[in-house]
Every structure is written in C-alpha cells, then in structure tokens.
Amino acid sequence: MDVYSAEKRSEVMRAVKGADTKPELALRKALFARGFRYRLHAKGLPGKPDLVFPKYRAAIFVHGCFWHGHDCARGARAPVSNRAYWAAKIARNKARDKENLKKLKALGWRVRVIWECALKQPGAVDKAARWLMAGAART
C-alpha cells in the first residue's frame, strides 16, 4: 500500500527529473570551466548519454545512485512501500544501462558512468577530466 493517493504519487513522480539534475549540472559546469565542450543528451546514441564529447569520442552518464542501483548507501536503500515494484524497476534500469554501455562501446565510443555519490568526493571532476584527456592522446 502506498502512503500517497494515486494523484499525489503521480505528482511526486512527475517531479523526478531525467535530465539536468543537480549532479549533472555540477559536472557540466566544472568540465566547461576546464575547457571541455560537449553535446547534451545526444538522441542519436544509445541511452542518450548526459554528456557527449565528439572530439574525444567519449560519453558520460551521470547516474543517480537510487535510480540506477549503485552499491553505495543511498543506492542500496530500499523503499519502505511497494518493494517488489521498486526492485523490479531498478533491475530493469540496471539491465538497460548495461545494454546501452555495450552498444556505445560497439559503436567505438569510450563510456564513463559517474555516480551521484562520487561527485561529492574531492577530485571527482579532475578524475573525469583526466579520463577525457587520456582518450585524446589515443585519437
């Protein structure tokens, strides 16, 4: 049983953003300040990566720990109500993410997943920038 009415639950779920989340915006701003230029949510690529760097043939996904089933404390937290639904939903998200990464790699893209919790650590943006530059050396 849900603690909210169907209308309230619908309103709550509509408020959940799939793009332009706070972690994504923070990463975008920091990478832009370091001189990296990118495309957003490229519809022509599997999974519509959050950031696409055509110059480096690289794509970055910024994943929310809960929604994508990360193994950190926030990602491992199970909802109190409707557990079966949420377990199945997160399992589908993880399977879809895995398939999208596989497809992008098959197309010759370098792919990186950056977790919401990792962006809270010092040096996370520098690590992403080094990863991008390492790919530039290969191209």
Instruction: Name residues whose C-beta falls within 8 Å of residue 50's C-beta, 6 or more positions apart in sequence.
Output: 19, 24, 40, 41, 60, 61, 62
**Residue 126's pLDDT is what?**
95
**Residue 6's pLDDT is what?**
79
The per-type count for the chain, helices as H runs and strands as E runs, is 5, 4
**Residue 138's pLDDT is what?**
61
Residues in the chain predicted with pLDDT less than 70, given as ranges, are 1-2, 17, 136-139
Tokens 């962006």 sit on residue:
119
What is the signed CA dihedral for 98, 53, 39, 64, rounded to 10 degrees? 40
**Residue 1's pLDDT is what?**
61
CATH code reported for the domain at 18-138? 3.40.960.10
Task: Tell me the whole-structure pTM to 2 decimals.
Answer: 0.86
Structure tokens at 32: 């832009």
